[in-house]
Amino acid sequence: MTTIISFFFLSLLIAMVATPFVKKLGHWIGALDYPDDRKIHSQVVPRCGGLAIYLGFFLPFLALLFYRTSVTEFLTWDRMTIGLMAGSTFILLVGLWDDIRGLRAWIKLVLQIVAALIAWWAGFRIEIMYIPFLGSIDFAFFSLPITVFWFVAVINALNLMDGLDGLATGIALFAAIILALVSLLRNNLPAALLFASFSGALLGFLRYNFNPASIFLGDSGSYFVGFILAALGIGTSQKSSVTVAILIPVIALGLPLIDMILATFRRFIFGIKIFAPDREHLHHKLLKLGYTHRRATLVFYGITVILGLTALLVENLRDDRAGLILGALALLSVLGIRKLGYLEYFTTDKILGWFADVTDEAGISHGRRTFLSDQVAISECDNIFQFWSRITNTTEKINLCSASMELNPESFGGCSLLNFTWENGIKKHDRTGDRCLRIELPLTSNGTYFGTLHLKKSSNQENDDRLVLRRVEHLRRTVANTLESLAEKSRSCPEVLQDRRRTHSNPGELAVVLIQLLQGVCPHHYIRNSYIFDVVQLSQA
């Protein structure tokens, strides 16, 4: 225990001494954070604080060259030790380069994955996880992608939380202290030693990073701190207890992880680049509620402490009761997220609307599959009148009031064709047209104009209009492509332009239809089909 405490204070002292020199180095190499509309600081501040934490964490272990104890004798130059130093140094340099010159988002992501692969090679792997009520899950060959995801998630979570003076550093500090206590409870002294040294380095740096900060973590610091927490969280436990190694850091780092998840969903829903900066993070929400920078930071410290105590309780239970605690914690998290106004992004109608759009686009929904069948039927027409009949069947299904089509005679060899008109006799709509959506669609394919399709939809109809415009656009493409095919066929087969679908051998039937039309009682399906053409021809005869 004496060794652990000694390493804590030694790291604390080194970090406090090194930070002023790192501040000067930041000015010299140009690792500076300039104020802008998105930043909350008003002065130029060095942002290479990760170097001070790096020195505070690793330099105390040089003492092992001269003095060893019963605790330090378990720390050897094995593959895990080399991997921890190599991976953390690599990600620190990546962040430092980003602080000085800037890196593209996808390049940073690739380099983070490389660092995670180094850690996985060294033996920092997530192989088994215990889920309350479900038992242990062995990830087997999925260990690699899950481990990489864990490292990338923790690294970016800390990076996103680094928006207020001392916020990310303080959260990491409390998480490290909790993990050190967990290691002591497991009698894992080497792990407790590493966490103690890491905690000391963070506390020494926090002396200069707390509000008002004279130096920032920067990407070098957030990347390095995130990597160390991710690695030590899983690498200092035996395989059988990997459950606790994963569960405890997840709870202790719950605040930055929740912020990362919310940021990812928020940007995805609004079509914003995932790595694009914004002012909608958790700390920005508290500032909008009137909290000062220091008070907001202290609130998040308090939440992190509560999460840490919860993690300790879960560690001691290690049974299904932990599931009940996690359920209560999840409920409180949802209430907190709602209080901050995040649920407006995820309201039920928006989620269902988005899901409906996705399923419709993928062809999963019943309406989309039915509409696809209608499109196929339209494209397989033999003549122009069958073609129009199937169009009207489709427009009726998508709740349109009326449709008309004017064909271009030049596209059909100069043949004079009647205009086609259809009106839905069941759906009532505004006759004045003041509240009707009128759509005029030019029917073109490969640069050739075949005519125009006019559609009308009433705003009085009580039906879901969300997908109508998408249906109309799909219909336009199908109609235009089919007209191109019919026009090509008409050059060699003029019968394509004749109504072969129905031959009225009984003039009396046509007379009845004509009388019904004049009386206004003709069933809508008569009007929908090509009877209106037949009646016109009969009246002319």
241 burial via Cβ count (<10 Å: 0-12, 13-18, 19+): middle
How far is Cα 338 from Cα 352, in angstroms, rounded to an integer? Answer: 19
How far is Cα 263 from Cα 424, in angstroms, rounded to an integer? Answer: 47
Per-residue pLDDT at 525 exceeds 50? no
Q: What percent of the chain stands above pLDDT 70? A: 71
Pairing of strands 135-138, 402-407: unpaired
Per-residue pLDDT at 507 exceeds 60? no
First to last CA, the chain: 110
Query: Residue 141 corresponds to which tokens in the numbers above?
Result: 């060959």
How far is Cα 345 from Cα 272, in angstroms, rounded to an integer? Answer: 13
Q: Any residues with CB less than 8 A from the CB of 54 and at least 6 apart, and which?
A: 88, 89, 92, 201, 224
Q: Any residues with CB less than 8 A from the CB of 123 and at least 6 apart, and which?
A: 79, 80, 83, 235
Q: What is the pLDDT of residues 374-419, one digit of tens each?
A: 888 888 888 888 888 888 888 888 888 889 988 888 877 666 656 7
Alpha helices, H only, 398-495: 468-492
pLDDT at 96: 93
**At 419, is the secondary structure helix, strand, or coil?**
coil
Per-residue pLDDT at 204 exceeds 70? yes
Residue 356 or 292, more confident = 292
Query: Residue 29 corresponds to which tokens in the numbers above?
Result: 């190499």
How many CB atoms neighbour CB 281 within 10 A? 22
Q: What is the pLDDT of residues 418-462, one digit of tens each?
A: 678 888 765 544 444 456 788 888 988 888 888 899 998 876 654
How far is Cα 360 from Cα 368, in angstroms, rounded to an integer? Answer: 6
How far is Cα 211 from Cα 500, in angstroms, rounded to an integer? Answer: 84
Per-residue pLDDT at 243 exceeds 60? no
pLDDT at 523: 41
| Residue 289 pLDDT level (bands cut at 50, 70, 90) | confident
Bin 452: left if φ > 0, else alpha if -120 < ψ < 50, else beta: beta
Residue where the block lists tokens 């999925």:
142
How far is Cα 216 from Cα 32, in angstroms, rounded to an integer? Answer: 9
pTM score of the predicted model: 0.64
The stretch 275-285 carries a mean pLDDT of 74
pLDDT at 352: 57
Bridge partner residues of 136 (DSSP):
130
Bin 73: left if φ > 0, else alpha if -120 < ψ < 50, else beta: alpha
- Cα 82 to Cα 61, 67, 90, 207: the distances in Å are 13, 20, 12, 30
Rg (CA), the chain: 35
| Residue 10 pLDDT level (bands cut at 50, 70, 90) | very high
DSSP one-letter string for 209-253 = HSSSPSS--HHHHHHHHHHHHHHHHHHTS-GGGHHHHHHHHHHHT
Residue 333 or 95, more confident = 95
How many CB atoms neighbour CB 305 within 10 A? 15
Residue 489 or 145, more confident = 145
DSSP state of 441: E
pLDDT at 237: 54
Beta strands in 395-458 (DSSP E): 402-407, 420-423, 436-445, 448-458
Give the residue among 286, 312, 280, 310 at the shortest CA–CA distance from 299. 286
| Residue 94 pLDDT level (bands cut at 50, 70, 90) | very high
Residues 50, 225 contacting (CB under 8 angstroms): yes
**Mean pLDDT computed over every residue of the chain:** 77
Alpha helices, H only, 274-320: 282-288, 293-317
Whether cis (ω within 30° of 0) applies to the bond prior to 212 is yes
**What residue segments make up the domains of the chain, in order of their start?**
2-252, 365-501, 502-541
Bin 143: left if φ > 0, else alpha if -120 < ψ < 50, else beta: alpha
Q: How many CA atoms lie within 13 A of 452 on its CB side?
A: 6
The stretch 70-97 carries a mean pLDDT of 84
Name which of 300-304, 320-324, 520-524 the model is least confident about: 520-524
Q: What is the pLDDT of residues 221-231, one digit of tens each?
A: 999 999 999 89
Give exposure, 454-489, as e/b (b: 16+ Cβ within 10 Å). Answer: ebbbbeebeeeeebbeebbebbbebbbbbbbebbeb
DSSP state of 51: H
pLDDT at 526: 40
Amino acid at 431: R
How far is Cα 414 from Cα 416, in angstroms, rounded to an integer? Answer: 6
How far is Cα 112 from Cα 160, in angstroms, rounded to an integer? Answer: 15
Residues 200, 10 contacting (CB under 8 angstroms): yes
Whether cis (ω within 30° of 0) applies to the bond prior to 523 is no
Q: What dotted CATH number matches 365-501?
A: 3.30.450.40
Per-residue pLDDT at 220 exceeds 80? yes
Residue where the block lists tokens 């008070």:
295
The stretch 32-54 carries a mean pLDDT of 78
DSSP state of 156: H
Residue 133 CA to chain centroid, in angstroms? 28
* Cα torsion angle, 498, 504, 510, 513, sign: negative
How far is Cα 279 from Cα 38, in angstroms, rounded to an integer? Answer: 7
pLDDT at 202: 94
Q: What is the pLDDT of residues 156-194, one digit of tens each?
A: 888 888 878 888 899 999 889 988 888 888 788 888 888
How far is Cα 280 from Cα 228, in angstroms, rounded to an integer? Answer: 27
